[in-house]
Chains A and B, each alone.
Chain A
């Protein structure tokens, strides 16, 4: 176990090394910083960002927006998912809506939202529409995994509703909810940044990326991109560890 983890770590390190090396070579080949900045230059810009005062303002604005969007999607998704999973007519009713929303390109949502809302609301609206169907889908699928015979049994023995929810439904949906939440949270950052780049809210990473793009500061765009990757990784890890603890508890 330990030996293989160690080996895997080595492979990961090697993989990252090859990536950075490839990047450095490509940058050398491109020859111009505005086309492809080298890893070193990008790292310097990243350090510059981290030490600037406005960095934290933009970072916190995006974090707050992302978490709000994800939170809204999570709760609405849970709600609609529960309704759909417990009462099949609801599922049939919501299905066309969800399918339609899911098939809509997120860029189309952004463009439409731009016409309807102010910049701050655009990002929330788009994130919500992209993430909430994923949660809904997963919750309702989880509920369908509950053994119908078990449901029947619970009904026959008149097990209390709260016990049914706690011991029958929750364990069933948790793995699905975990998958849905992980996928949803990952998408949140991607969609949020895209919406920010287009909608330009006063504060936000996407706005800064767009500004850097306008002025051809490619290294700055790279640096912000690394920041977003870090955010995404951080929340992914956080969620996994939180959910794993819960999941083990249920098992």
Chain B
């Protein structure tokens, strides 16, 4: 028994060793994409895995939870990764060597309701609304919009918190929650499985209206490890071009992209195709939209400093072209 376990221990050790040794032979870039809408932009890349530069091997991994993604970035396992923009700032401000390479989507948050009573933010007065992630950016923005319309989030409405959009969406589908703030693709999921639901308010429109900006808020981002950006700038430039092209293809071909979504990022094809127009997928390299990103982060900073890691990230945060 003891001998066997010793042997097993030895074998596992050998396996781990050989694995690390083999990985050193050629440059491998680990691209990690979050499942769900943040993964939508990358579907053609996940499907075709094009060679960007000879000698550089790219591994694509789809990660299902933001927590796992954070761990992979902090440990340096992920070279290129998709994250919420505020998380990118938190990582950078905490000394994790990552840079913002691009913004991939500009908001996917909506308020949905069963019925047709809510036609403006002020109609929410006196209502109970399901919100996910107390203190997370969807919650922060929701409270901001309420306040901007003269409603006190503590007194004029009743906010019921749910841990993740999954629970909230299921309760909405079951008819147990009547008004909910949800991201895509849950908005589409709820509306297709409970036809009584409709989109009543749009975070993105509201942001543009309130802030007088041409662009909505920079919700999701692509980050790269600084080491990769310094060592392989050419590869990275080409990769970002490919990613932009992939994103544009998805926007133009929602039906075909839906098929890919089913196989790669765990969203049903119908939901993905229907959700794509509401996902504000616009791939913009960080250097070109720095002002918008900074505006959004500054706003978050004023609401809740810890949501971006306590301070505005400096110049080094933005990957230069």
Residues on the A chain within 8 Å of B167, using CB: 114-115
Cα A114 to Cα B94 with chains together (Å): 33
Taking the closest CB of chain B, its distance from the CB of A51, in whole angstroms, is 17
- Known contacts: A114-B167, A215-B90. The answer to whether A32 contacts B160 by CB under 8 A is no
In the assembled complex, the CB of A238 is this many whole angstroms from the nearest CB of chain B, namely 31
Let me know if A32 and B309 touch, CB within 8 A.
no
- Asked whether, in the complex, the Cβ of B133 is within 8 Å of the Cβ of A214, the reply is yes
- Report the separation of the CA atoms of residues A217 and B306 in the bound assembly, to the nearest whole angstrom: 8
Per-residue B-contact encoding for A108-135, CB less than 8 Å = 1, 0 else: 0000001100110000000000000000
Tell me if B287 is interfacial: C-beta within 8 Å of chain A.
no
Instruction: Kindly state whether residue A138 has any CB partner on chain B within 8 Å.
Output: no
Q: Is B9 an interface residue (CB 8 A)?
A: no
Q: How many A-B residue pairs have CB under 8 A?
A: 51
The answer to whether A215 touches B95, judged by C-beta atoms less than 8 angstroms apart, is no
In the bound complex, how far is the Cα of B130 from the Cα of A200, in angstroms?
A: 12
Scan A186-207; emit 1 where CB is below 8 A from any B CB, else 0: 0000000000001111100001
User: Which residue on A lies nearest to B304, using beta carbons?
Assistant: A215
List the A side residues contacting B62 at CB < 8 Å: none
A141 on interface, CB distance cutoff 8 Å: no
- Contact between B163 and A114, CB atoms less than 8 A apart: yes
Contacts of A207 in B (CB 8 A): 134
Q: Is B91 an interface residue, CB under 8 A from the partner?
A: yes
Known contacts: A115-B170, A202-B161, A215-B306. The answer to whether A32 contacts B95 by CB under 8 A is yes
With A198-B163, A200-B163, A215-B90 already in contact, the answer to whether A32 and B96 are too (CB < 8 A) is: yes
0/1 string, B142-175, CB within 8 A of A gives 1: 0000000000000000001111000100110000
A34 at the interface (CB under 8 A from B): yes
Contact B134 A200 (CB under 8 A): yes
Question: Does A34 contact B96, Cβ atoms closer than 8 Å?
Answer: yes
**At the interface, yes or no: B307 with Cβ under 8 Å from chain A?**
yes
Specify which chain A residues have a CB less than 8 angstroms from the CB of B87 in the assembled complex. 216
A50 within 8 A of B: no
Q: For the complex, what is the distance from the CA of A202 to the CA of B95, rounded to whole Å?
A: 31
Contact present for A216 and B163 (CB under 8 Å): no
Does residue A83 face the partner (Cβ distance < 8 Å to B)?
Answer: no
User: In the complex, which of the residues B87, B134, B162, B170 has the most CB atoms of chain A within 10 Å of its own CB atom?
Assistant: B134
15 contacts between A and B (CB under 8 A): A33-B94, A33-B95, A34-B74, A115-B167, A119-B160, A200-B134, A200-B162, A211-B134, A211-B135, A214-B135, A215-B90, A215-B135, A216-B70, A216-B87, A216-B91
Q: Give the 9 A-B CB pairs with smallest separation, nearest first.
A: A211-B135, A34-B94, A215-B306, A200-B161, A200-B134, A216-B90, A200-B163, A198-B163, A32-B95
